[in-house]
């Protein structure tokens, strides 16, 4: 790196996925492996590493690893990231690929998690769940859901209820 302050400033604009060089669909194992590799690469004790820029990079990597390796914090971060970008699973990094859809599931196969039917869940083969909220269903173009425990992505299919005249049942 030619200038430590430039390296820190460049990292400030990046998402945790971009800091780690990972796609949005990276598994916990991929997050951990990339973290260890990058920490070794940027460690201040390495020959030629500048301590000021290295410590900034290490701090960003540590923060990204803490968030992306915890299911709850990652889910919250992903939701915030999607909201900032105005998307639901759309990677914007030039290195990230669109998610590979493993299956199409009908919304009727999802079970409501509460009496108000505000959230719906469907089990994933990893043991975690695909989670859809009623708010997700209101977003135009919403159809992809990522498992809360692994990188599997499914397409959720449903149809709006219509009356006899073919008009939609909700506003």
Q: Is 80 exceeded by the pLDDT of residue 109?
A: yes
Tokens at 60, concatenated: 């960003």
**pLDDT, greater one: 162 or 61:** 61
Q: Does residue 112 sit in helix, strand or coil?
A: strand
Q: What CA–CA distance (Å, rounded) separates 82 from 1?
A: 31
**pLDDT, greater one: 98 or 146:** 146
CA 65 to chain centroid: 13
Q: pLDDT over 70 for what percent of the chain? A: 74
Element counts in the chain: helices (H) and strands (E): 6, 6
pLDDT digits (tens, 9 = 90+) for 66-91: 999 888 888 888 888 887 776 554 44
Q: What CA–CA distance (Å, rounded) separates 69 from 74?
A: 7
Domains of the chain: 4-83 (1.10.287.110), 99-157 (3.10.660.10)
């Amino acid at each position: 790196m030619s200038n430590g302050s430039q390296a820190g400033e460049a990292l400030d604009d990046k998402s945790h996925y971009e800091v780690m060089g990972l796609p949005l669909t990276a598994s916990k194992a991929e997050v951990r492996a990339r973290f260890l590799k990058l920490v070794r690469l940027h460690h201040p004790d390495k020959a030629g590493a500048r301590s000021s820029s290295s410590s900034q990079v290490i701090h960003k990597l540590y923060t990204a690893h803490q968030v992306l390796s915890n299911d709850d914090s990652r889910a919250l971060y992903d939701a915030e990231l999607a909201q900032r970008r105005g998307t639901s699973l759309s990677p914007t990094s030039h290195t990230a690929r669109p998610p590979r859809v493993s299956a199409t599931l009908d919304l009727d196969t999802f079970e409501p998690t509460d009496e108000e039917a505000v959230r719906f869940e469907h089990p994933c083969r990893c043991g975690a769940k695909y989670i859809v909220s009623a708010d997700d269903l209101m977003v135009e173009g919403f159809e992809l859901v990522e498992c809360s425990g692994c990188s599997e992505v499914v397409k959720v299919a449903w149809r709006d209820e219509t009356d006899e005249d073919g008009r939609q049942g909700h506003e």
